[in-house]
Structure 1
Amino acid sequence: MHCRLVCFTVAWLVGGIVSIQFANAATGRQSEESSASPVGTQVAMFELPNAYGKPVSLRDFVGKKCAAIVFLGTECPLAKLYGPRLNDLQAKFGDRGLQVIGINSNKQDSLTEMAAYVHRHEIKFPMLKDKGNVLADAMKAKRTPEVFLIDADRVVRYHGRIDDQYGVGYARDKKTRSDLAIAVEELLSGDEITHPTTEAVGCHIGRTKEVAEVGEITYAKHIAPIFNARCVSCHREGEIAPFTLTSYDDTQGWEDTILEVIGNNRMPPWSANPAHGEFANDARLSEGEKELIGQWVDGGMPEGDPDDLPEPPVFATGWQIGEPDQVIQMRDKPFDVPAEGVIDYQRFVIDPGWDEDKFVVACEARPQNRAVVHHILVYVIPPGGRNVDLRKVLVGYAPGSTPVDLDDGVAIHVEAGSKLLFEMHYTPNGT
């Protein structure tokens, strides 16, 4: 018997979505109550600094036939995906009189982070900072991205989404309706806009709220342990989640989004039906944990005593299974992940060169760019076979998953001459 410790790694990739209730001034808690459509209202003149601190006024675009005022954020997955698409819209309609204007009202996004967003996504239109969300409040903007298309008289003619390709928790192969582009075309052509209102979907704008820190539930003592246990494995630097939750400052501006996604069980991700039994690796928050987070937000999100902070979780930086006997690359060149769209599963067949039977006792799959790898599955293709053996998965990877590490006396038998199939699922993140 030949026992081998076998590991798998993935070639370099380039290139990761989150979600989302509206604010009660007394508590800061979100309430998704419907409000009157802004279509038909006039936007007041405003002046805001751009990503580099230079003041830009709406008056600077007098003479344009229309302007698309779009609220964006630097870390919201949909804002990342739609930033480049707004570039395309500006290029298509700019000569005919359109001006795209990006507005960042998030308290958690600094000018430096805005400048990095502009550079990373090669934004060609002005990106302005709405400190204290004054403009967002005046225009009753709620999410990122959210569009207000105004005419030459600053009257809102269209309000809602950019198109229908991306939403919270889904992505279509392609858009079926380009709502903003259609509205711009109709406005520039002097026609009535056929669909002046659509639903804007995305992350909540991270508002500055005048809420006193009066709650007894604090981040340091009560909330940090929950986030460390349930969220930080994905919500940390370099992982697939769109923003980090490793410190108190990281939570600022994301409270409304957090409340929404845990309220409707989108996060932490867990699809098993609890009616069919209990699972040892159940990732869901308990009702008590949800209630604590809600009480913390309602109490003004106090930080608490830093001495109450738990020890931060430690994540392995090398192989979690120890030094491997063999490392097998997905292929010998990188796979380029496009900035947007939906990517079909990519499959790569590798010959590991096994001329004798192997008994695998530990196995680990690792992406080299976690920000765009949704999951990995590595299957065995038996010798002489053309099809994968779906019953024989050597190892898988998903954010927060653990490697295969079998007990003594237990191993996965792989016949000599077998090949391996890497099945890769990539998630574009705007770059």
Structure 2
Amino acid sequence: MVRWSIAVLALIGLLGFHGFLPGEPPTRGQAIPLTELRWHDLNGNAMRWSDLRGSKAIVILTLSSRCPAVPRYAPRLNRLYDIYSKRGVAFIGIYPEADENLDKVRDHALRMGFRFLIVLDGAPAIARALRATHVPQAFVLSPQGRVLYSGAIDSVIKREVAQHYYLRDALDAVLNGKPVKVARTEVIGCFLSLPEDQLTSAPRVTFAEHIAPILYENCTTCHRLGDIGPFPLQTYEDAKRWAKEIKFYTQNRQMPPWKPVPGWGEFREARRLTDEQIRLIAEWVDSGMPAGDLSRAPKPPKFDKGWYFGEPDLVLEMPEPYTLDGTGGDEYRYFVIPVELPEGVAMEAIDIQPGNREVVHHANVFVDLSGTARKLDAEDPAPGYARFGGGGFIPAMMLGGWVPGMRPMRLDPGYAVLLPRKFDLVLQIHYFKRGKRETDRTRVGLYFSRAKELKPVQLVVIGNTRFVIPPGEKHYEIRARWKTPPDRPVYALAIMAHMHLIARGCEVVAHTPDGRTIPLLKIDDYDFNWQQTYFYKQPIELPPGTLIDAVGWYDNSSDNPNNPSNPPREVRYGERTYDEMFYIFLAIHDPQAKGSYLIPASL
């Protein structure tokens, strides 16, 4: 249930230039001083610390064949090696986890393109001596074995743009004979699991009785073989292997990834653990992950790979497969599919089937009537076109979306989206890289309504493009509003917020003429990587003249780890990485509407 890049980075202390000698680690294994250790590379060649004495500095990197953070960092690690190995810096990558073996490590290092020394035999002892806690984690040492820097490689979290380059800056300081200003940082990545690193205690909470039901109901829909979850949670061994991550990310409610604050709208398919479920998970991990009687554990759920509502009326597919590189940052890509239909076709449900669930993080489907998306597609030689903040056009309609674990949505009986006769269906896909080249060809299934009396759905775009966020501003608010028709009620069906990287949250409320306040959506920890359309359990009546008031708040300071600019810069409306947006998409039904269309309500 972990998406490694969601955690918040923070500095945790400063140490002097002379560094510190690795001491007793907080694990059960006994540490041996690093300078007394011996290890072997993947070819069986023996090495000891004295072999590194001729280096100006030594970089040791913790790695893992299981951790999804490593493929993201691989290109950066290789670039650092290319630069600093020429300046006399030795690089060693260690694979210290308990379940590594020679074949796995060889294959993984080859796929990552690592050109520096790789160590498996002896790696756990090195990790203990360094008091390593995460993967990937960087250590810079002097030839005498003193740790001059330990922690994160850089401050990249959401995008491949960092505010701080900790490892690079530490190496530059050491090579120039200067103090390392930031000698220790907190690490973002997977928790390190060393051999003999398990605790034991009386099994009051067991996997079979308590934990399996929680995981199978809330986690396995995404965390299963062949799906987007970076690791499976289908067996006891799976859960035990990732227990530290499960505890950490459920306690801070980053997993399951459900963003709406409770009490701000009642939504279908809400994925939120109870406080008791979180407590049980923590107790299970702290007591050593006891299995219990596995013969009495529930069976892992089975998943149908077919269409959820049966065969669609129309299946649309990406014009050609898209090949994704294995390493580096996430990609946002738009694929244009021309559609021509008979007059009067109405859609009541949509099902999006990723062609490769291992790399499709989420998808959204829009309608473009302007032809802009088609032009952008023609300008990009690869399938589809790349775009960060938006598709380059204002959608005439938003037909639906898909995130892992979400079942397809069908509108309530009678409600439908009246489709144009000719349009471009634009499929936005967020791709997450998994360490090897992958190919995707996602499909979209449309289900047409056969109701005699239709209730057409409209899309209200509530937004503000007139803003300037000053550099350093920690809480900048952007507001937008829309008033419903004065002579009739309308009904809210679904809602989605769209902002960029420095956004921290948003709030949408409806103020009725009689003084009532209707909460529609609140997100306290907005994450660009987890944008989703939220469908209300029941249509919400908005009386005539109701004011929809929306506000988003942004942190354009250096304290925001998601800020792509260092130092912070002035931010305006736009689609680039450094720009921002504030849009609320509200799907409604207007009883007097004769069709489905876009209602612009932007400043």
Q: Same fold by TM (over 0.5)?
A: yes
Distance 1:235 1:393 in 2: 28
SS in 2 for 1:91: helix
Match of 1:18 in 2: 4
* Unaligned segments of structure 2, at least 5 residues: 23-33, 374-391, 437-603
Q: Give 1:242-391 correspondences, 5 Å limit.
A: 242-334=230-322, 336-337=324-325, 339-343=327-331, 345-382=332-369, 390=395
Query: Which segment is superposed worse, 309-318 or 181-190?
Result: 181-190
**In the aligned structure 2, how far is the partner of 1:83 from the partner of 1:337?**
12
Range 48-57 or range 360-369, more displaced:
48-57
The structure-2 alpha-carbon separation of the partners of 1:384 and 1:128, relative to structure 1 and needing over 3 Å to count, comes to closer
Tell me, in whole angstroms, the C-alpha distance in 1 between the residues paired with 2:393 and 2:341.
Answer: 17
Determine which structure has greater relative contact order: mean sequence separation of CA pairs < 8 Å that are 6+ residues apart, divided by chain length.
Answer: 1
Q: 1:409 to 1:133 in 2, by over 3 A?
A: same
Q: Is the 8 A contact 1:379 1:389 kept in 2?
A: no
Quick one: which of 76, 83, 105 aligns to 2:67? 76
Question: Aligned partners of 1:18 and 1:329: how far apart in 2?
Answer: 31
What SS does the corresponding residue of 2:361 show, helix, strand or coil?
Answer: strand
Measured after TM superposition, the shift of residue 338 of structure 1 is 6.7
Q: Corresponding residue for 1:161?
A: 152
1:184-209 CA-partner distances (Å, limit 9, x unpaired): 22322333333333332222111333
Call closer, same or farther: CA 1:51–1:224 in 2, change over 3 Å. farther
SS in 2 for 1:252: helix
Partner of 1:107: 98
1:69-111, Cα deviation, whole Å (9 max, x unpaired): 1112223232221133212211112122112111223224444
Give yes or no for contact 2:13–2:184 (8 Å, CA) kept in 1.
no
CA distance in 2: counterparts of 1:138 and 1:424, whole angstroms: 43
Amino acid in structure 2 at the alignment position of 1:80: P
C-alpha change, 1:252 and 1:114, in structure 2 (3 Å) is farther
Supply the distance in 2 between the matched residues of 1:203 and 1:80 (Cα, whole angstroms): 12
In structure 2, the residue matched to 1:7 is none
Q: Residues of 2 paired with 1:131 and 1:275: CA distance?
A: 53
SS at match of 2:86: helix
Superposition pairs of residues 225-236 of structure 1, within 5 angstroms: 225-236=213-224
The 1-side partners of 2:416 and 2:224 are apart by: 33
Structure exhibiting the larger radius of gyration computed from Cα positions? 2
**Residue pair 2:58, 2:142 contacting (<8 A) in 1 also:** yes
Partner residue in 2 for 1:3: none
1:25-53: per-residue Cα shift (whole Å, max 9, x none)? xxxxxxx9x79969332642322344576
Unmatched tracts of structure 1, length 5 or more: 1-15, 22-31
Q: Residue type matched to 2:360 in 1?
A: V
- In terms of fraction of residues, the more strand-rich structure is 2
**Match in the other structure for 1:175:** 162
- Secondary structure at the residue paired with 1:41? coil
Q: Residue 420 of structure 2 aligns with which residue?
A: 415
Secondary structure of residue in 2 paired with 1:352? strand
Over 3 Å counting, the alpha-carbon distance change for 1:245 and 1:349 in structure 2 is same
Whole-angstrom distance in 2 between the partners of 1:280 and 1:319: 20
Identity of aligned residues (%): 32
Q: Which amino acid aligns with 2:63?
A: L
Over 3 Å counting, the alpha-carbon distance change for 1:280 and 1:421 in structure 2 is closer
Are the counterparts in 2 of residues 106 and 253 from structure 1 also a CA contact under 8 Å? no
Deviation readout 1:255-291 (Å, 9 max, x if unpaired)? 2222111111111111101132544422111111112
Structure 2 CA distance for aligned equivalents of residues 379 and 163 of structure 1: 36
The residue aligned with 1:39 is 19
What residue is the counterpart of 1:241 in the other structure?
A: 229
The 8 Å contact of residues 53 and 144 in structure 2, kept in 1 or not, is answered as no
Conserved 8 A contact 2:362-2:430: yes
Inter-partner Cα distance in structure 1 for 2:179 and 2:87: 17
**How far did residue 163 of structure 1 move?**
1.3
Query: Which residue of 2 is the match for residue 137 of structure 1?
Result: 128
- For residues 129-175 of structure 1, give each alpha carbon's deviation from its aligned partner in whole angstroms, at most 9, with x where no partner exists: 37794432322111112111012222212222111223xxxx23412
Q: Does 1:194 align with 2:194?
A: no
- Residue 119 (1) aligns with residue 110 (2): yes
The 2-side partners of 1:129 and 1:300 are apart by 26
Matched residues in 2 for 1:122 and 1:141: separation? 23
Find the aligned partners of 2:44 and 2:309 in 1 and give their Cα distance.
Answer: 49
2:431 corresponding residue in structure 1: 426
Any idea what SS the aligned residue of 1:44 has? Answer: helix
Contact 2:14/2:184, CA 8 A, preserved across alignment: no
Question: Is residue 333–residue 430 contact of structure 2 (8 Å, CA) maintained in 1?
Answer: yes
Work out whether residues 215 and 298 of structure 1, in 8 Å CA contact, stay in contact via their aligned partners in 2.
no
Partner of 2:505: none
Give distance in 2, aligned partners of 1:201 and 1:333.
33
Task: Give the 3 Å change call, closer, same or farther, for CA 382–192 of structure 1 in structure 2.
Answer: closer
Aligned 8 A contact 1:105 1:132 in 2? yes
Q: Is the 8 A contact 1:377 1:396 kept in 2?
A: yes
- Kindly indicate whether the alpha-carbon contact (under 8 Å) linking 1:70 and 1:148 is maintained by their aligned counterparts in 2: yes
CA contact (8 A) 1:321 1:363 kept: no
Q: Distance in 2 between matches of 1:338 and 1:213?
A: 41
Q: How far off is 1:357 after superposition?
A: 3.4
Kindly tell me: are residues 53 and 219 of structure 1, through their superposed partners in 2, closer, same or farther at Cα, counting changes over 3 Å?
A: farther
CA contact (8 A) 1:130 1:136 kept: no
SS at match of 1:364: strand
In structure 1, which of residues 383, 398, 401 is the aligned counterpart of residue 406 of structure 2? Answer: 401
What TM-score do the two structures reach when normalised by structure 2? 0.60
Q: CA deviation at 1:245?
A: 1.1
TM-score when scaled to structure 1?
A: 0.82
Q: Which moved more, 1:100-109 or 1:152-161?
A: 100-109
Q: Secondary structure at the match of 2:4?
A: coil
Give 3-state SS (helix, strand or coil) of 1:327's partner. Answer: strand
Alignment-mate amino acid for residue 328 of structure 1: L
Q: Note if contact 2:96-2:124 (Cα within 8 Å) is conserved in structure 1.
A: yes
Mapped to 2, the partners of 1:19 and 1:51 lie a distance apart of: 30
- CA–CA distance in 2 between the matches of 1:149 and 1:191? 14
For 1:183, the aligned partner's letter is A
What is residue 13 of structure 1 aligned with on the other side? none
Contact 1:20 1:204 in 2 (8 A): no
Over aligned residues, Cα RMSD in angstroms? Answer: 3.1
Describe the shift of the 1:252–1:335 C-alpha distance in structure 2 as closer, same or farther (beyond 3 A).
Answer: same
